[in-house]
Structure 1
Amino acid sequence: MTTTWQSNDTDQQLEDLRKQVEILKLQQQLQQLQGNQNGQGGQQFNNAPVHKENVQLTCYTVKGTVLGQAQAQLKATLLDSDGVGVQGASIVFVVSNTRREIGRGTTNGQGDAVAGTGSNILDPTIMLSGVGSGVTAIFNGNKQYLPAEARGTVEPSIG
């Protein structure tokens, strides 16, 4: 009896076995990931996309005093996409051209943030800079809402 050995058949069988092993590894990885998504141990993956809502930020015209100690009353309103005020959001007010902070406030139940510049503007040239470029209200966003900026104007008054 004679046995014929064909190397091509053996090479093909070996390649087929390698492919089957690779498929089994991939199936195990898939099962592990599916188990993780169902809370069954292992490292957790949250594949749910993060969806943040748009907001509308309005910065109002500011009336500022430029003689003596420069000061102004700053106001902005932050609304969600349904037009409802966003409460508890931090709003930063800056001079538009220099981005220098001049006030900060937290929104109330109507979404209004008010900040007096008080002693933040010891240098009247900062107020004059604001007269030229305006004031910008900045909401940096949070876990629920996207960031937003709005620009207002500064109207100077004397005294």
Structure 2
Amino acid sequence: MISTAAHEAGHAVAAFYAGIPATPLEIVVLPPCGTCEAPKARGRNQGVHLGIASAEDTLRMLAAGVQAELLWAEDLGPLTDAEQWAIEVGGLDDQGHARAVAESLRDYGWPLLDYGPPGPDPQPWNWPHQCNRARAAARLWRPQVEILSNRLVQDRRLAAADITALLNNF
């Protein structure tokens, strides 16, 4: 459950620093895996604002969930390829939102979301570039992510005003 909370907190903290209004966060505890009995949880943020900040900051916010979760998991020890893949799969909905952001900007000269290597001059529509930006930000904002994720685990649901208050008081 804490990994899911770190993921959702990563989004919330990145949104906060991009000037994107907070939305309620929730952790839903699911039945354990029927095969291995591993605990499962799902995060939910309600109504992510995609048109408030710059497109580049919005894409970084969308990438920040997986990156914050990866950093949390890496603190526990080295990740196997399968563990990293499982965390990254948890961000597929985020990538869907990122594709929608890029597609909404086609009339303004943006191509579709690019999954190629960032290269020496990365473009804002390049997803690996946004993941790199999100990872650097998640490292910088790690204390805020930790405070917010711990509170989310404790309360299971945080109102937008509570998220803003926690981050404003940091």
* Structures share fold, TM-score greater than 0.5: no
Q: Which is higher, the Rg of structure 1 or of structure 2?
A: 1
**Which one has the bigger strand percentage?**
1
* Structure having the larger proportion of residues in helix: 2
Higher relative contact order (CA 8 A, sep 6+): 2
TM-score w.r.t. the length of structure 1 is 0.25
TM-score relative to the length of structure 2: 0.24
